[in-house]
């Protein structure tokens, strides 16, 4: 029996990765692939693990209720909140975990990540992405190292375009704030971080 080829989507619950997951679920070019969605609960100084978890639960509920195609979901966790002076970018953890998931399931051919057009044009973002690629390839076993690739389903879209593409009731379920305020175990956006300010502009210009 021929094993179904799959795409692994590294999903944070943020706008960019929600755009990726939405396109994987709706675009014909991905229809022949099975879909494995993985979330990493990353506990760090930004303290947004709870907010991301709630966003994931809400978006998955939306996909189920609207009848989108099924996918496999897994999750893992890593707590590095003790690291105060050096911040390890999410990209690095995702790369390491993605390579290990592929090693366990070689039917996964591609890793889908949420990089937008703006990310592709940013020198800082490219540097972090390149480091992530190095970690990914270094972690893969030799026999898989050269025929497993990253794909970027929203690389041709700005963050504004990703927002405009998504159904209105779905996009509001995503989480973007980098430093949420937790009150009575409920996270809310700080309204001050660069991402909150960016999202405010996006909402003002939404389609």
pLDDT tens per residue across span 2-40: 578 999 999 999 999 999 999 999 999 999 999 999 999
Across all residues in the chain, what is the average pLDDT? 93
Compare 145 and 137 and report the one with higher pLDDT.
137
Compare 143 and 206 and report the one with higher pLDDT.
143
Residue 207: per-residue pLDDT: 61
Token duo for residue 29: 């070019």
* pLDDT band (50, 70, 90) for residue 119: confident
Residue 82: per-residue pLDDT: 86
Tell me the CATH architecture of domain 6-204: 3-Layer(aba) Sandwich (3.40)
Whether the per-residue pLDDT at 205 is higher than 80: the answer is yes
- Residues 6 or more apart whose Cβ sits within 8 Å of residue 6: 33, 34, 35, 36, 105, 107, 108, 109
**Tens of pLDDT, residues 84-100:** 766 678 899 999 999 99
Sign of CA dihedral 55, 52, 60, 135: positive
Residue 113: per-residue pLDDT: 96
pTM of the model: 0.93
Residue 144: per-residue pLDDT: 87
Q: For residues 117-127, give the mean pLDDT.
A: 85
Token duo for residue 154: 């929203």
Q: For residues 162-187, give the mean pLDDT.
A: 93
Whether the per-residue pLDDT at 1 is higher than 70: the answer is no
Start-to-end CA distance of the chain, whole Å, equals 46
Whether the per-residue pLDDT at 145 is higher than 90: the answer is no
Angle between helices 15-26 and 49-66 (to 10 degrees): 20
Domain residue limits, the chain: 6-204
């Amino acid at each position: 029996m021929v094993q179904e080829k799959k795409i692994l989507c590294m999903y944070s619950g943020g706008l960019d990765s929600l755009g990726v997951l939405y396109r994987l679920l709706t675009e014909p070019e991905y229809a022949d692939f099975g879909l494995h969605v993985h979330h990493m609960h990353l506990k760090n100084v930004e303290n947004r693990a709870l907010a991301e978890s709630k966003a994931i639960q809400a978006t998955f509920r939306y996909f189920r209720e609207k009848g989108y195609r099924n996918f496999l979901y897994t999750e893992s966790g890593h707590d590095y909140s003790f690291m105060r002076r050096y911040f390890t970018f999410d990209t690095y953890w995702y790369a390491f975990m993605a390579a290990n998931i592929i090693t366990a399931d070689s039917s996964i051919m591609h890793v889908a990540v949420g990089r937008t057009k703006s990310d592709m044009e940013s020198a800082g973002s490219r540097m972090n992405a390149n480091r992530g690629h190095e970690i990914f390839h270094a972690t893969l076993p030799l026999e898989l190292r050269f025929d497993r690739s990253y794909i970027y389903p929203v690389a041709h879209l700005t963050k504004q375009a990703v927002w405009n593409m998504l159904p209105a009731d779905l996009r509001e379920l995503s989480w973007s704030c980098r430093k949420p305020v937790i009150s009575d175990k409920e996270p809310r956006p700080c309204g001050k971080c660069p991402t909150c300010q960016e999202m405010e502009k996006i909402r003002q210009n939404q389609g």
